[in-house]
Amino acid sequence: MSSPRADREADRTDEITAEQQYVSMLYAKLDELRRDTTKRLTETLRQTGGTPQARTERDISTTMYTDKLTQLSAVEHGLCFGRLDLDSGEVFHVGRLGLFDEEDEYEPLLIDWRAPAARPFYLATAAARDGVRRRRHLRTRWREVVDFEDEVLDLDAAEQGSDLGLAGEATLLAALDARRTGQMGDIVATIQAEQDQIIRAGMNGVLVVQGGPGTGKTAVALHRAAYLLYTFREQLTKRGVLVVGPNSTFLRYIGQVLPSLGETGVLLSTVGGLFPGITATAAEPARAAEIKGWASMVDVLTAAVRDRQQAPKDHIEVQFDREPLRIQRRDVTHARTRARRSRKPHNLARRVFLQEMFSALTTQVADRLGRDLLDRRDLDEINVELRGDPAVVEALDGLWPELTPQEVLDDLLSSPERLTTAARKHLDPGEREELLREPGAEWTPADVPLLDELAELLGVDDAKEREERARQAREELAYAQGVLHIMEQDEEIADEERLRVSDVLDAELLAERHQTRSDLTAAERAAEDRTWTFGHVIVDEAQELSEMAWRVLMRRCPSRSMTLVGDIAQTGAPGGARSWHEVLGPYVADRWKLAELTVNYRTPAEIMTVAADVLDAMDTELEAPTSVRSSGHRPWLRHVAEERLATELPGVVADELHAVGDGRLAVLLPPERLAELGGKVAEEVPGTAVGTRPDGLESPAVLLTVEQAKGLEFDSVLVVDPAGVVEESERGLNDLYVALTRATQRLGVVHTGEVPDVLGALS
C-alpha cells in the first residue's frame, strides 16, 4: 500500500506531466509561428525592384514581419508561467504573449499577461476571488516544466495568508533569492497586486509612484510601458513612449527588460540624451550642475538672448551704392522693439527686425535720391538691393544675428562679460564664477536642458522647409491611402488574420513611415527630432531631476500623459525634489494622482532595519517599506584605521567576493575615495571594475559612488566610509540610505573614524 505522501508525490508528477504536455504544445505553436513569419520575411526580402508602390508594400511587410519575429523570439524564456482555474470550470494559461488556435475558432491557448482576462492572475485573493478557484504558478527551465505552486483561493486560505497579501509567495521568493546578473530581469510571472494596480492604471494625466527602495518602482515603470503599448498600441506606436533614467549605466541595467517583454518601440534616454546631435557626457563640478538646474536659468538665458539683439551707440556707417549709409541707433531700437513685441523666438523675430530695418534704410536711400521722384516700384527695388548688399546684410546680422543654442550657451559660459550682463539679477558673483569655463568645452548633461531652453527661445526659421514638408505630407497621405486600399484587396495578405495590414497600420502612419525611413520606429525617429512629442513619458528616479530638466520633459509631453516613479527619501541631487507637489505644481497644479508602493522586494529585513534608522534621522514623513523576506545574513561593521585603509581594503573586498560566491558585489565609496582607492583595489582583486565602465555591472565586483549605484542592486554591498558619504553633501543621509539599500543578500560597512550615530544598530 502506498503512503499518502507517496500518493501526493505521484499526483504532483502527473500534474507536472500534464502541464508539460500543454507547455510543449504552446512551444510547438510558437515555433510554427516563427517558421511562418521567417518564411514570409524571407520571401519579402527576396523580391527586388518593381514600382515605387511595390517597394513601399515590401518595406511595410518587412517591418511588420521583423517586428513580429522580434516579439516571437523575445518570449522564448518563460513563455507560459501561470494558470487560472475558474469556478465556471474554465481553465486559462497565462504567458508572455497571446496564442490562439486558428483551427478552433481562435480559441485562446495562452492569454497575454496584459490582457484583461489575465488580470485575476495578479489580483485575485482568497478574500476577493473574482471567480478564481485556483491560481497556479508554473516554474520552467528553458522549455521544461520543473515545478508548480498552487494557491487554492478559499476562505481558509484567506485566514492563513501572509500579512503582505503576496501572490505566489514561494515563486516570488525563489525569484527574489536568485543571484543577480548585472542586468535587471522582468517580473511578469510574479507581479503583486499593489504593483498591478499601477501597471494597469489609465494612461491620462500624471501618475506619481512614490515607493521606498526595492519596492519595484523601476520594474513597475517598465511593465507599465509594456502594458500601455499593448493596450493603446495604435496611439502609442505613432508617438512612441519615452523612458527616462538617471544615467547611462542605469539605462544599460534596465535595457533588457522591455525587449524581454517583446517591446522595442520605447526610447530609453537620460535627459542629457534628449538633444539630437549632442553627446553630453563631460563631467563638471556638482555645484555648477546644480546651478544650471535652477529655474532662474530661464531668465538668465532669456537675458542672454536679448543681449544678442544689439543697437549701436550712435550709428554704424556702411557703403551702399558707393555712398555712405547710416544705420541709426534710433531706427535699430525701433526695429528691435517691434521685433521683440512680435513675441516670436529670436530667429523668427529676426525677420520682423530685418523688415523694419530695410524699410528704414530704404527711406534713407530714397531721401538721398529725392523721394518725390520715386514711385512704389522704385522703393521696392531699393529695398531688394539693400537686402542683397553684403555690407548692409553683414552690419544688420551683427545687430540681430541668427543664432544656434550651442553658440549662445558656449559664448555665455565662456565670457565673464556676457555672463554678468545676462545673470546679474539672477545669480550672485560666486555662482556666476562657478559656471565659467573654457570656450568650446565639451557638453555636460546639465547643459542639455539649457540648450533645449535656448532652442525654444531662439526658434528655427524653417518656414520654407515646413511649407515644403506639409506639401509632401499631403501627397504621401493620399498615396498611402491608395496603397492601403490595394493591399487590403490583396487576398493573400487579407486572409492572413494575424497580420492583416489594416490592423497594424493606418494611412497616416503608413504615410509617416514612407516619408521617413520605413524601418524606423517612432522611438527612433523621436531620438532624432528635438521637437518630437511622446504619447507617454515615464521617468524613473524622478526625484533627481532639476527644475530645468522638468521643463524639457514637459515640453516633450504636452498631453501630460506621464508616469513618474521615485522616492523623495532617496533624492541625492542638490537640485532634486523635496516634494512631488513642489515638482509638479508649475505644470499641473494639484491635478496628479499618487500611488504608493510599500513592500520591499530587494532588501532583506536584517538590512532594512539598519537603513530604517537612517530614514528616521531624515526630516521626512516617509516610512521605510516592509521587507518581504530575511536573508539570514547579519550586516556587519568593521573598523579600519584611516592610514591602513588603502592596504586593507583590497583584502576586505576579496573576502567579501569570496563570501558572495558567484553573485555580484558592489563597493560604494565617496567620490574622492573612489578616485584614491579604486585603482589599487582593482589591481589587487581580480574581477574588479571601477566606475561606470559599460561592462562594470557584469563584473564580479564593481567600485562605484553612491550616485552611480542609484537604482541598481547587487547580491552583496560594501559601504566604505559611511561618515564620508554623509558629509559629502547636504543630502548625505539620503545617499547613505540609498547605499545601504542596494543589497539583495549581504551588507558590510567599513569605517575609518567614528561610526555615524545613525548606524547605531550595526555596532
Residues that bind ligand ATP (CB under 6 A): 172, 175-176, 185, 187, 190-192, 195, 211, 213-219, 567, 570, 601-602, 711, 713, 741
| Angle (nearest 5°) at CA 546 between 618 and 571 | 20
Q: Which is nearer to ligand ATP, 219 or 280 (CB)?
A: 219
Using CA atoms, how far apart are residues 176 and 354, in angstroms rounded to an integer? 66
- Give me the least distance between CB of 192 and ligand ATP, in Å please: 5
Q: Which is nearer to ligand ATP, 551 or 602 (CB)?
A: 602
| DSSP 3-state of 98 | coil
- Give me the least distance between CB of 123 and ligand ATP, in Å please: 13
Which residues are bridge partners to 564 per DSSP? 208, 539
- Give me the least distance between CB of 80 and ligand ATP, in Å please: 17
Q: Which is nearer to ligand ATP, 339 or 545 (CB)?
A: 545
Does 211 show up as a binding residue in the annotation?
A: yes
Q: Which is nearer to ligand ATP, 120 or 211 (CB)?
A: 211
Of the candidates 291, 283, 334, 282, the one whose C-alpha atom is nearest the C-alpha of residue 309 is: 334
Q: Which is nearer to ligand ATP, 37 or 600 (CB)?
A: 600
- Give me the least distance between CB of 623 and ligand ATP, in Å please: 14
Q: Which is nearer to ligand ATP, 331 or 713 (CB)?
A: 713
Residue 574's φ and ψ, nearest 5 degrees, are -60, -30
Q: Which is nearer to ligand ATP, 215 or 705 (CB)?
A: 215
Q: Which is nearer to ligand ATP, 37 or 218 (CB)?
A: 218
Q: Which is nearer to ligand ATP, 224 or 346 (CB)?
A: 224
Does 344 show up as a binding residue in the annotation?
A: no
| 161 DSSP assignment | S
Give the amino acid at 467. E
- Give me the least distance between CB of 149 and ligand ATP, in Å please: 13
Which residues are bridge partners to 135 per DSSP? 84, 151
The CA distances from residue 160 to 116, 171, 250, in Å, are 28, 17, 39
Q: Residue number with the shortest CB distance to ligand ATP? A: 216
Q: Which is nearer to ligand ATP, 535 or 572 (CB)?
A: 572
Using CA atoms, how far apart are residues 746 and 658, in angstroms rounded to an integer? 12
Does 215 show up as a binding residue in the annotation?
A: yes
Residue with cell 497575454: 112
| DSSP 3-state of 102 | helix
Does 218 show up as a binding residue in the annotation?
A: yes
* Helical H segments across 47-168, by residue range: 52-74, 119-123, 155-160
- Give me the least distance between CB of 565 and ligand ATP, in Å please: 7
Cell numbers placing 143 = 522549455
Residue 622: which residues within 8 A CB-CB, separation 6 or more?
210, 212, 567, 568, 569, 615
Residue with cell 512551444: 27
Cell numbers placing 751 = 569605517
- Give me the least distance between CB of 211 and ligand ATP, in Å please: 5
Cα of 89 vs its chain's centroid, Å = 43
Q: Which is nearer to ligand ATP, 214 or 575 (CB)?
A: 214
Give the amino acid at 693. R
Cell numbers placing 685 = 582583486
Q: How many other C-beta atoms can be found within 10 angstroms of the C-beta atom of residue 547?
A: 19
Give the amino acid at 76. E
Residue 761: which residues within 8 A CB-CB, separation 6 or more?
609, 610, 613
Q: Which is nearer to ligand ATP, 358 or 601 (CB)?
A: 601
Q: Which is nearer to ligand ATP, 25 or 175 (CB)?
A: 175
Does 44 show up as a binding residue in the annotation?
A: no
Cell numbers placing 598 = 510599500
Using CA atoms, how far apart are residues 388 and 262, in angstroms rounded to an integer? 57
Does 440 show up as a binding residue in the annotation?
A: no
Q: State the Cα torsion 349-351-356-357 to the nearest 10°.
A: 110
- Give me the least distance between CB of 122 and ligand ATP, in Å please: 9
Which residues are bridge partners to 266 per DSSP? 241
Of the candidates 649, 690, 686, 642, the one whose C-alpha atom is nearest the C-alpha of residue 666 is: 690
Does 217 show up as a binding residue in the annotation?
A: yes
> 4-46 vs 52-74: helix axis angle to the nearest 10?
160
Q: Which is nearer to ligand ATP, 125 or 570 (CB)?
A: 570
Cell numbers placing 756 = 555615524
- Give me the least distance between CB of 713 and ligand ATP, in Å please: 6
Does 212 show up as a binding residue in the annotation?
A: yes
- Give me the least distance between CB of 257 and ligand ATP, in Å please: 9
Cell numbers placing 368 = 538721398
Question: How many Cα neighbours within 13 Å face the side chain of 604?
Answer: 19
Residue 567: which residues within 8 A CB-CB, separation 6 or more?
210, 211, 212, 213, 217, 543, 622
The string of DSSP letters for 578-640 reads S-HHHHHHHHHTT-EEEEEE-EESSS-HHHHHHHHHHHHHSS----PPEES---S---EEEE-
Ramachandran bin of 228, using left for φ above 0, alpha for ψ from -120 to 50, beta for the remaining angles: alpha
- Give me the least distance between CB of 742 and ligand ATP, in Å please: 7
Q: Which is nearer to ligand ATP, 63 or 195 (CB)?
A: 195
| 753 DSSP assignment | S
Of the candidates 284, 249, 245, 267, the one whose C-alpha atom is nearest the C-alpha of residue 445 is: 284
- Give me the least distance between CB of 125 and ligand ATP, in Å please: 15
- Give me the least distance between CB of 490 and ligand ATP, in Å please: 45
Using CA atoms, how far apart are residues 613 and 624, in angstroms rounded to an integer? 9
Of the candidates 269, 252, 258, the one whose C-alpha atom is nearest the C-alpha of residue 183 is: 252
- Give me the least distance between CB of 395 and ligand ATP, in Å please: 57
- Give me the least distance between CB of 600 and ligand ATP, in Å please: 8
The CA distances from residue 228 to 151, 236, 266, in Å, are 29, 8, 11
Q: Which residues does the annotation place in the binding site for ATP?
A: 211-218
Query: Where is the binding site, in residues?
Result: 211-218
